[in-house]
Structures are given as C-alpha cells and as structure tokens.
Amino acid sequence: MNTAHGSAALSCRHARLPTCAEELYSMGMPSLKRRWTVADLEELPDDGNRYEVIDGELFVTPAPRFEHQRASMELCVLLHEYLARSADAEVIAAPADVVFSPQRGVQPDVFVVPKVEGKRIERFEEAGRLLLAVEILSPNTARTDRVAKRVLYRSEGVVEYWIVDLESRTFERSTPADPRVEILAEQIQWRPEEATEPLVIDLVAYFARVLG
C-alpha cells in the first residue's frame, strides 16, 4: 500500500516494464512481409476490426465485447463532465485515429486532447499530443496494451496512460517520468495542465456500475 499523487490514499503497487524487442511485438498480428505505415491502413477492409500500426508492425483487434464498451462509455461520461467545468480539453472515444508518425498510428479506447486556442479540434494533428490515453483490456489486447502501447505512449510523451483491467477491477497508471506502473484499486486522481481541480474517480463504484 502506498500514498501517491497528492493527499488522497491510493491502493497501488509497482511493476517494471519489459523492454526487449521480442517482448514488445509478440502480440497482435504483425506482418513479416512488409513494414506497415499508417497510409497502408486505407487498403484494409472495413470489417469491424481495429487496425493499428506501431513502429511498422500491424496490430489487429476484434470488435470489443459489451462490458468493454460499458467501461468506455462510463469513463467518457466521467471525463466529459469533469473537463466541461475544469479544463480546456475534450474526451474522445474510439474509433478515432491518433497518428504520431507514418509508422505510428493507433486508436486508444478513450483519450483526452487539448483544445487549440479554446476551440475543439477536428483531427489529432491539430493538437499533436495527448493529455491522457486509456486502453480497456480484453483477452485479445492485454499484452499489446501492457507492452507495445505502454512503450509507445511513453516515448511519445503522453502525459498519462491508464489501463482498465475489468477482471481484476483495477486501473494501471504510467507516465513518461516514472518507469514504474501504479496499480490502483480504490481511487484514482487526475489533474491535467491548467485544470482548476482534480478529477477523483471512486474505482470501486466505477467497476460496480460497469460490471454490476
């Protein structure tokens, strides 16, 4: 047990990230015949799968389950209500493209982008950065979300990255400044730049609403 991020008591422990190449790309459906780019995704079918490119590798994710979508919607509501009163930013839910480079294009389940001169953006490139990225684990995405995407978001300077683990009813939080990962079971706080107050999420109540 630890106390972190202000005065709120958070239940957490830490874990080191795997970093070797073999660990990074053993999940998903990487192609061995070509180096994929974001532009190549236009060739792929609109079949309900999510197609993403991380450092030239193609990752394919099947359509999510209902509980995954409930978790996403519940989190979007909490973030939307908070951002509307506290920060000059906007929450977006997948599918929506976040393109960092020609070899790096992903679709986070939920993410927060800053407004530009007080106006909502139409494309990620207008802001060029994420204040928060969230992935909700499923059996098909756990390794990709915990390894490849965590490394990606860290290297791209995403201010915070959350993983929502529905099975364990925890949030995993990481930042570029700390190589460790916090695992939170009771409460999480988040305060983006220039926000007037933090967002405080009761995780026990959140998972009760999502999972019953």
Question: Mean of the pLDDT values across residues 4-12?
Answer: 39
Minimum mean pLDDT range among 5-19, 20-34, 60-74, 128-142:
5-19
Does residue 11 register a pLDDT over 60?
no
Does residue 212 register a pLDDT over 80?
yes
Question: By C-alpha distance, which of 73, 146, 139 is closest to 110?
Answer: 73
Question: Mean of the pLDDT values across residues 19-28?
Answer: 40
Question: Mean of the pLDDT values across residues 158-178?
Answer: 97
Does residue 208 register a pLDDT over 90?
yes
Q: Cα dihedral angle (153, 155, 158, 161), rounded to 10 degrees?
A: 40
Residues 6+ apart with CB under 8 A from 47: none
Rounded CA-CA distance 159/11 in Å is 21
Estimate to the nearest angstrom the gap between the alpha carbon of 161 and the chain centroid: 5
The H or E element that residue 165 is part of is: strand 161-165
Does residue 19 register a pLDDT over 60?
no
pLDDT value for 96: 94
> Where is mean pLDDT largest: 52-56, 60-64, 140-144?
52-56
Rounded CA-CA distance 116/131 in Å is 13
Does residue 32 register a pLDDT over 90?
no
Question: Mean of the pLDDT values across residues 184-204?
Answer: 94
Rounded CA-CA distance 183/181 in Å is 6
